[in-house]
Amino acid sequence: MTESAKKAVYETKQLNLWYGSNHALKNIDLEIMENEVTAIIGPSGCGKSTYIKTLNRMVELVPSVKTSGEILYRGRNIFNHDYGVEELRTRVGMVFQKPNPFPKSIYDNIAYGPRIHGIKNKKILDEIVEKSLRGAAIWDEVKDRLNENAYSISGGQQQRICIARALAIEPDVILMDEPTSALDPISTLKVEELVQELKKDYSIIIVTHNMQQAARISDKTAFFLNGEVVEYDHTDTIFSNPSDKRTEDYISGRFG
Amino acid sequence: MRYIEQQTVVKRMNGRLIANSIFKYIFLAATLIALLALVILLYRIVTQGAGHLSIEFLTNFASRFPEKAGIKAALVGSLWLMLVVAPTSIILGVGSAIYLEEYAKQNRITTFIRMNISNLAGVPSVVFGLLGLTIFVRALALGNSVLAAGFTMSLLILPVIVVASQEAIRSVPGELRDASYGMGATKWQTIVKIILPAAIPGILTGSILALSRAIGETAPLIVIGIPVIIQFLPAGVMDTFTALPMQIYDWSSRPQQEFQTVAAAGIIVLMAVLLFMNSIAVIIRNKFDKRY
């Protein structure tokens, strides 16, 4: 696919965000392309998690959050009054920092999303569960224990269950907020391979602390610092030939 | 230069270890004193009342004659009372807890409300009795019925249920809410499918403990004028009735020595009911207890 044929899923225009009086995001302009992995890197407190949570408006669960500017998702401003957050979040799945399966069976975890959106037919649910678990490359490991509590499996498996759960709502975009920070290296590798696989069908935005991870798996990388986007470019360029001194300092480990 | 000298540490070690074991025994003594008081109480009640316990005691109405006196009206009356108190207080209590924890915005008004609900839990029960007398018995003209007493008791235990339910709801990890909202669930779906199932052990334990308080309370019933000697069973919530603690209070205040035995037997029945309710609470907690 050529560069020009790809469409933008997200266009962020002059986004500002405040937590009370704390100006957490400043004039963010970013265009995120479909079927790509976009990594967001930066030191702690730079606003990268805040930004990704703004993309599905989860950030609004924090009281006293104020925003200005626009985020167009597939051309529609997600802050519009007639754009319901529930509708947005069925298009945009999210995977969190800590694996957070529900205290239910593996099956019920995956079927949760489809069920809340009104699917009751057992056969269809069965198919969705299998497809999602296969999509998250964990079907073979759990297919015989679908009725076991999701807490009975390892942390790495739990995180892939959470990815499968996000896939079950058949999203367009998957947001990942440091999905491997609580996992061991082998589980991390599995999640990374999975991300590579998933980008064929989904657009993925991943926040990560781990710069090698960003370099390994992403197509584009945005470097955040103090609530601003310092640099946004192809991952190769960011890591081999950054145009901003601060990016270079950060990726070479001089701070952060 | 070292700040901690090994020799001083060794010298002080003995004193520290002694203090360590002294405090262990102080706390053990505190527990034993409480336990001893309970054992003596139980022993006295059981030795005094066990002789009077019989099937007739459970199936007879109250009587002037101690040997014929039974607890039927009070036992059935207390069950009727629970029939009103349980749904009223749990629905209202859990409802307000959900509102306060999940819907209400954090501002001065809600902080004020939260604070005062905790305060209400400490208001003496006789005050709730006066409230019930004014509102339910007189203003709403419910008389000294099961309904009036039930509503009064519900008000009495409502704060306890609200606080317990709030605690239970608050202890549901935020990550579970995030996961649910992140998939496009509405607040209501998240509450019904995620938060309540996770909070239900705490909610039910708190509610049942509150209900056992209601079943043992006497003061509000006296204030709203619940009779003691009753020779019939209530047929509905608008009928008058009597309750276990009322009956026991009446028996124990009678001059005849024999009635003390009857009162003790009544206490055994009341304790059996309480024990039964508390064990339900334990069973529910164990059944629903899930790790997350």
Dump pLDDT digits (tens) for A125-159. Answer: 999 999 999 999 899 999 999 999 999 999 989 99
A to B CB pairs, distance under 8 Å: 73
Distances (CA, A) of A188 to A140, A180, A191, A203, B285: 18, 5, 5, 19, 36
- Tokens representing residue B53 in the block: 């316990």
Q: What is the DSSP string of B159-182?
A: HHHHHHHHHHHHTS-HHHHHHHHH
Instruction: Provide Rg for chain A, Cα atoms.
Output: 18
DSSP run (H or E) holding B32:
helix B6-49
Residue A130 lies in a domain: yes
For residue B145, the SS3 value is strand
**What is the domain extent for residue A217?**
3-251
Closest-CA residue to B133 (of B153, B119, B118): B153
pLDDT value at residue A54:
95
In a domain, A38, yes or no: yes
Inter-chain contact B179–A162, Cβ cutoff 8 Å?
yes
The per-residue pLDDT for range A99-111, each reduced to its tens digit, is 999 999 999 999 9
pLDDT at A4: 56
| Residue A95 pLDDT greater than 60, yes or no | yes
| B171 has a chain A CB within 8 A of its CB | no
Residue A60, domain member (yes or no): yes
Predicted structure pTM score: 0.83
**Strands of the A65-73 sheet, one edge to the other:** A22-33, A8-19, A65-73, A76-77
User: Which residues of chain B does A85 touch, with a Cβ-Cβ cutoff of 8 Å?
Assistant: 181, 184
CB of B196 within 8 Å of any CB in chain A? Answer: no
The single residue listed with the structure tokens 């800590």 is A98
Residue B139, amino acid? A
- Cα(B98)–Cα(B195) distance, integer angstroms: 9
Is residue A162 included in any domain, yes or no?
yes
Say if A219 falls within a structural domain.
yes
Distance CA A176, CA A180 (A): 9
Q: What is the pLDDT of residue B287?
A: 79
Work out how many domains chain A is built from and give that number: 1
Q: Is B182 on the interface with A (CB under 8 A)?
A: yes
**Under 8 Å CB-to-CB from B127, ≥6 apart: which residues?**
none
The one-character DSSP state at B240 is B
Residue A4 or A30, more confident:
A30
Q: Is residue A128 part of a domain?
A: yes
B107 in contact with chain A, both atoms CB, cutoff 8 A: no
Classify residue A47: in a domain, yes or no.
yes
Residue pair B150/B214 in contact (Cβ under 8 Å)? The answer is no
Residue by residue, what is the 3-state secondary structure of chain A? CCHHHCCEEEEEEEEEEEECCEEEEEEEEEEEECCCEEEEECCCCCCHHHHHHHHCCHHHHCCCEEEEEEEEECCEECCCCCCCHHHHHHHEEEECCCCCCCCCEHHHHHHHHHHHCCCCCHHHHHHHHHHHHHHCCCHHHHCCCCCCEHHHCCHHHHHHHHHHHHHCCCCCEEEEECCCCCCCHHHHHHHHHHHHHHCCCCEEEEECCCHHHHHHHCCEEEEEECCEEEEEEEHHHHHHCCCCHHHHHHHCCCCC
Q: Which amino acid is at B125?
A: S
Question: pLDDT tens, A12-35?
Answer: 999 999 999 999 999 999 999 999
Angstrom distance (rounded) from CA A194 to CA A192: 5
Would you place residue A1 in the very low, low, confident or very high pLDDT band (cuts 50, 70, 90)? very low
Note whether B173 contacts A56, CB cutoff 8 Å.
Answer: no
Q: Tell me: pLDDT of A2 over 70.
A: no
Instruction: Please report how many Cα atoms fall inside a 13 Å half-sphere around the Cα of residue B194, on the Cβ side.
Output: 31
Q: From the list B181, B194, B197, which residue is nearest A89 (CB)? A: B181
Do the domain assignments include residue A256?
no
Tokens of A157: 């498996």
Q: Check CB contact of A57 with chain B, cutoff 8 Å.
A: no
CATH code of A167's domain? 3.40.50.300
Each of the 292 residues of chain B gets a pLDDT tens digit; together they read 788 888 888 888 999 999 999 999 999 999 999 999 999 999 999 998 888 888 888 888 877 777 788 888 889 999 999 999 999 999 999 999 999 999 988 888 888 988 899 898 889 999 999 999 999 988 998 888 889 999 999 999 999 999 999 999 999 999 999 999 999 999 999 999 999 999 988 998 899 889 988 998 989 999 988 888 888 888 888 888 888 899 899 888 888 888 888 899 999 999 999 999 888 888 887 877 654 4
Segment A242-246 mean pLDDT: 91
* Proportion of chain A above pLDDT 70, given as a percent: 97
Query: Alpha-carbon distance B157 to B117, whole Å?
Result: 11
Mutate to test the interface with A, among B106, B181, B183, B288 (most CBs of A within 10 A): B183
pLDDT at A5: 67
The mean per-residue pLDDT over the stretch A186-205 comes to 91
Question: In this structure, which amino acid lies at residue B45?
Answer: I
How far is Cα A52 from Cα A225, in angstroms, rounded to an integer? 14
CB of B198 less than 8 A from some CB of A: yes
